[in-house]
Structure 1
Amino acid sequence: MTWPDCSSCGKKQPFTVFATGAVSQILAENSIFGVLDPQLVSRRTVAIDAPFYPLPGLQARLFAVPGKVPLFLESGEPDLNVEGETTVGIELTAGTRRVYYIPGCGLLTDILAARLKDADAVFFDGTLFRDDEMIATGTGHKTGRRMGHMPIAGEGGSLDALAALNIRRKIYVHINNTNPIWRPGSEREHVEDRGFEIGFDGMEVRL
């Protein structure tokens, strides 16, 4: 099998990858990430909790959230709630507005809850509705928590945890195709009745 050379296909465009030190090392050590053409894609390593400015007037800050190492780096049973540089959220602030994007999170700790409290918007890990969803649907053999994702519903779920934080807009993202909230139904209605939104491709949020 041969791969086409799309260097002249008109599909390339420049952008910058902002990453923690650990993720920058992963990108450098794995040849598959060579698809990020260094002539167009610049890489910038940023420290946890250090502010940087991807655009004028927009301050960003990466912060650690509970999770685990990527699947391809697992060796044995991983720590499921380690707070390091491989599972992070991002805080975006502009003027008085404060927004968070957290597509993967294994646990909503007291420290993380305090950070998110009173935010203008939080985009949060909505991978699975129930912890045993992959097992119940026959699409996998791991629970959501084993994969590094806290479920939406059930004991210790993100629905109850986030509802208590007075967040202006709460939006679920990174929704797995087994998660029933992506289509009309009782689970979606339950989430929306609690004041949450379901993210979708092309969604625009104005604050």
Structure 2
Amino acid sequence: MSIRAIILGAAAGGGLPQWNCGCTNCNLARAGTIPSLSQSSVAVSLDGTSWALLNASPDLREQFARVPQLAPTDLRVSPLRSVLVTNGDIDHVAGLLTLREKQPFDLFATAEIQAALSGNPMMAAVDRQLVPRRTISLETPFELLPGLEARLFPVPGKVPLYLEGETVETDLEGEQTVGVELAAGATRMLYIPGCARITPALAERIDGADMLFFDGTLWQDDEMIREGLGRKTGKRMGHISMSGADGSIAGLAGLEIGARVFVHMNNTNPVLRPDAGERAEAEAAGWIIARDGMELTA
């Protein structure tokens, strides 16, 4: 059985172009030289009729408007059946407020992520009578859509920026950052938009997947510092780099993966430029650089 995936948004928080950024990529996107990208979200389906969201981007309204498969089928009738969020980051949960228009769907997340959502009074606008909060334990299979089994697993990461304290652990493994394993029959798809490092356990889980969507935030760890756009490294933000001996391209190189796709790319990442050497290097290693609207089937 096949799993269909539509990349609604391929960029990290802020999108491309970011509203207040004049970096090379943002200016190229404003000029139409490279594609603009909205913020991170993926829609999945088995039958093309019922759909689930993996993360709810702040750009969700525009993303839905661009995808005919997600258009309403009648008055206040949507093909959306469920939403699953993999962490509490603003670029993954703010879109829930767009979905407050009296539309029923199930909202899946771990207990820790649900607590972060419940702790924000604005999220009360998403009516619990219509949108039940389904709390999922790690490694416990559940039905995301009829016939589509999902399982959440811990991925090294950190708490959302708005929950950081004086001391920040950037490679925590628990309920605050998770990956998603989807299975339909013998088909297996993994979605991991945020990851601080590749552990042996994570590599073992990824091995043999028919399709992998993986954190592509930065090309190199000090990218934002080099660009003069921030003081944090990728590691400090809880994201592994694509390149380098400890990067994701090298770390996943020896695994059997049907299709490997980078998602959640920051506006500074050179792979967003089709003529960049870094993009050629990633593609030569077998990686697909996601773009908005791309549809893939595992």
TM-score (norm 2): 0.64
Structure 1 Cα separation of the partners of residues 150 and 293 of structure 2: 22
Amino acid corresponding to residue 126 of structure 1 in structure 2: G
The DSSP-based 3-state class of the residue aligned with 1:101 is strand
Q: 2:161 is matched with which residue: 58, 71, 77? A: 71
Residues 30-56 of structure 1 show CA distances to partners (whole Å, capped at 9, x for unaligned) of: 113234233432211010100000111
Residues 100-141 of structure 1 show CA distances to partners (whole Å, capped at 9, x for unaligned) of: 000000010001000111110110000001100111111111
Amino acid corresponding to residue 200 of structure 1 in structure 2: R
Q: Mark the CA change 1:39 to 1:167 in structure 2 (over 3 Å): closer, same or farther.
A: same
Structure 2 Cα separation of the partners of residues 14 and 134 of structure 1: 40
Q: Which residue in the other structure is 2:134 paired with?
A: 44
Whether 1:194 aligns to 2:288 is no
Amino acid corresponding to residue 65 of structure 1 in structure 2: V
CA contact (8 A) 2:245 2:251 kept: no
Query: Gaps spanning 5+ residues in structure 1: where?
Result: 1-9
TM-score (norm 1): 0.91
Which one has more relative contact order, counting CA pairs under 8 Å at least 6 apart?
2
What's the offset of the Cα at 1:154? 1.3
Matches within 5 A, 1:40-189: 40-184=130-274, 185-189=276-280
CA contact (8 A) 2:218 2:269 kept: yes
Q: Which residue in the other structure is 2:45 paired with?
A: none
CA contact (8 A) 2:157 2:238 kept: yes
Amino acid corresponding to residue 198 of structure 1 in structure 2: I
Q: Mark the CA change 1:197 to 1:66 in structure 2 (over 3 Å): closer, same or farther.
A: same
The DSSP-based 3-state class of the residue aligned with 2:181 is strand
Matches within 5 A, 1:20-31: 20-31=110-121
Q: Mark the CA change 1:35 to 1:135 in structure 2 (over 3 Å): closer, same or farther.
A: farther
How many percent identity over aligned positions? 51
Residues 152-198 of structure 1 show CA distances to partners (whole Å, capped at 9, x for unaligned) of: 00120001111211111100000111111112111111100111001
Structure 1 Cα separation of the partners of residues 270 and 104 of structure 2: 36
Amino acid corresponding to residue 262 of structure 2 in structure 1: Y
Whether 1:203 aligns to 2:294 is yes
What's the offset of the Cα at 1:150? 0.3
The DSSP-based 3-state class of the residue aligned with 1:24 is helix
The DSSP-based 3-state class of the residue aligned with 1:190 is helix
Structure 2 Cα separation of the partners of residues 72 and 157 of structure 1: 27
Query: Gaps spanning 5+ residues in structure 2: where?
Result: 1-75, 77-98
Structure 2 Cα separation of the partners of residues 138 and 167 of structure 1: 36
Q: Which residue in the other structure is 1:3 paired with?
A: none
